[in-house]
Structure 1
Amino acid sequence: MNTVLDPRLLLERATGQFAALVATVEPNRLDDRTPCTEYNIRALIGHVLGNTLAYAYIAEGGSVADEPGDIKEVPDDDWAAAYKASGERLTAAGRGLTDGALDNIVDLGFAKMPMRAALSAIVMEIATHTWDLREALGTSPELDQELAEFSLAYAHDTLPPTRRGAPVPFEPVQPAPEGADTYGRLAAWLGRKASAGTPGI
């Protein structure tokens, strides 16, 4: 696992991968449930869209007061374009950061951490919800393994089994079944019930 990879280098890959999957969602699937039990597909996309914009604001020098929260008011046929634009904004914000800026402490509202850790967190968030969306759709596109490896290493480092429950928004660690791929192991670590042999990897 590459745990020292600069998270700025992963923003375009993470957001692009999620955007590509969102573009395959038909409007009649938006009410389908996802493995992230709090959300159906529409709410999941709105959640990731809001978080992507929030981290873009922070990387641009904004404050938590600028964070939009989960986004609900997007026409059903506009989710793909809305997410693509948010991903491009986050990627551009990341590219605009100097190496030194990665050590700056930023306030995320729920925690303060170096910018490097904050960007790593949003990569993990997007990668995990990409798995959620793929599972909900029942499709089998090949996913970026390095994103999952980076995210799982970050999750192991920052979200041990004892750090669950409020304010940490993850369920207890679930056992990853034998044969689960890296995305499945990431999902299980963050509280999802993953199946063995996730398609497409």
Structure 2
Amino acid sequence: MGIEYSPEISELLGRVRRRPNAGWPWHAGVRVPDGLPVKQSWGWLFAPDGRVLTLVNPRDGVVSLPGGSLETEDAGDPGTALAREAGEEAQAVIGPPVYLGYLYDRVGSANGGHECARVRMAAALHGVGPSAPDPASGRHYRRLLVAPGLAVELLGWGAPASSRRAPRCRRPLRCWASRPPPTRRSRNSRPPAAACAERRGPGSCGGRSAGGRGLRTGLPPVHDAAVQRSGPAGGRGGTADLPVDAVPADGQGMSTGFRANGVGQPVGSIRNMTTIQEFDVRALEIAEGLVGQVDPGRLDLPTPCGEWTLGQLLGHMAGQNHGFAVAAGGGRHERSVWADRPVGGDPAGVFAASAAAVTAAFGEAGVLEREFWLPEVRGGQMFPALRAIGFHLVDYVVHGWDVAASIGVRAEFDEDLLAAVLPIAEAVPDGPNREADGAAFRPALDVPAGAGTLERILLLLGRDPEWSPAG
């Protein structure tokens, strides 16, 4: 069966040159030896239809996988580095990376002439945001979804490179298709984050029981129009940014349901994708309904948030809504807009007004192309809109449950909404920091087999799903 390539792919294939590292030793599934520093992390990021994300360098047309050098903020974790680089270079949102192996850099080109390791990982590609320049290099990469075999050709790694893709990539795909519920992580582990950022403030409950020094979190699955295909599954459809690259001549292509190359059950659709703003609106609507059940005379009720009373929690939630609404306008602003808003005798009205403000702000045209200044995150930094809205989303799912638990009612969340939040909970590192005063979360609790998605989220963030005001 013949293959028909798009003009751009044909042009890129014509530029491919064998990479200098094509013959370097590849160690599949082998742990990097002690004493050999890991300097880079690159990833095979699989879209729901089985294709992988590649980047085209605007300077020379060279194709690469998302990834790059480990930075201080990555704390030596290749998974964290990959998630950060994917977000910065490709505005991509990924699931927890799976280790594939490492390339032995014998000439030390990535380590000042000293030998080092370049790690390869694989992860699910949940979505992408609007195309933007890499903040570190200023390069505006072209993003292409290509079949894995074609990616090997475009990367110019040579024939030996096929071992870096198969069969090792099939294993993580099976894991994503039928992943068991996560169990409690080791206190010394640092799970990889998806577009992670260390933060304190939004989402923190205050007090010892609210958990670690800061939250290292990632975005939930963000399904943006940029990854939708306008044509049939096997046709010429595509968008201006992530096109269909190779079409079998008989018109038969990969299905839009993700079966992990035929293994497992579909877990996504390229055609019907929910945006991050839509998830956030739904989380706010549920939270608003729960706050509407609060008795204004019972604001002294305890909450799962340490020493905070229900009134303090609601004031925090309203204040954060107003802060995010202002941040969505772009640029810097007064920190005072993030102050807690006392709810007085009208908690439902105060919260509803704040929810309306942030919903309107997140729904403005062009908001996803802005950067949000979050003064309570990393001492005050600018964050891409998708990442910032993701922070807000997880806050209000968890805080919605906090309110429900405090007043003794059940919090009802749709399963797809919870599925969007679960990767964030999985990405929050466990460890001694969760026991520090003022920490954002308590140490993770054991997750039993068969636990529901909401229960898993709560346990991973150190909350007891059975918590009640009575203790």
Could you state the TM-score of these two structures normalised by the residue count of structure 2?
0.37
SS in 1 for 2:417: helix
What's the CA shift for 1:20?
0.7
- Aligned position for 2:355: 87
- Which residue of 28, 33, 47 maps to 2:302? 33
Unaligned residue ranges in structure 1 (runs of 5+): 197-201
- Aligned position for 2:444: 173
8 Å CA contact retained: 2:286, 2:412? no
- Aligned position for 2:457: 186
Cα distance per residue 1:4-51 (max 9 Å; x no partner): 233212222111111111111112321111112232211111111111
Q: 1:63 to 1:183 in 2, by over 3 A?
A: farther
8 Å CA contact retained: 1:131, 1:183? no
- Which residue of 384, 388, 406 maps to 1:114? 384
- Aligned position for 2:317: 48
2:287 paired with 1:69 = no
What's the CA shift for 1:57?
0.9
Return 172-181 or 118-127, whichever deviates more. Answer: 172-181
- Aligned position for 2:466: 195
8 Å CA contact retained: 2:329, 2:367? no
AA matched with 2:404: R
Q: Distance in 1 between matches of 2:312 and 2:409?
A: 19
Cα distance per residue 1:90-135 (max 9 Å; x no partner): 111111142751xx44331223332111101111000001111111
What's the CA shift for 1:185?
1.8
- Which residue of 1, 4, 14 maps to 2:283? 14
Q: How many residues align?
A: 191
8 Å CA contact retained: 1:57, 1:63? no
8 Å CA contact retained: 1:59, 1:97? no
2:391 paired with 1:124 = no
Q: Distance in 2 between matches of 1:176 and 1:132?
A: 19
RMSD: 2.6
- Aligned position for 1:4: 222
Q: Distance in 1 between matches of 2:446 and 2:365?
A: 38
Unaligned residue ranges in structure 2 (runs of 5+): 1-94, 96-125, 127-220, 224-274
Q: Distance in 1 between matches of 2:411 and 2:372?
A: 35
8 Å CA contact retained: 1:11, 1:90? no
Higher relative contact order (CA 8 A, sep 6+): 1
8 Å CA contact retained: 2:330, 2:373? no
Q: Distance in 2 between matches of 1:115 and 1:163?
A: 30
Q: Whose helix proportion is higher, 1 or 2?
A: 1
Q: Distance in 1 between matches of 2:408 and 2:461?
A: 20
AA matched with 1:26: D
SS in 1 for 2:399: helix
8 Å CA contact retained: 2:292, 2:348? yes
Q: 1:99 to 1:46 in 2, by over 3 A?
A: closer
AA matched with 1:106: F
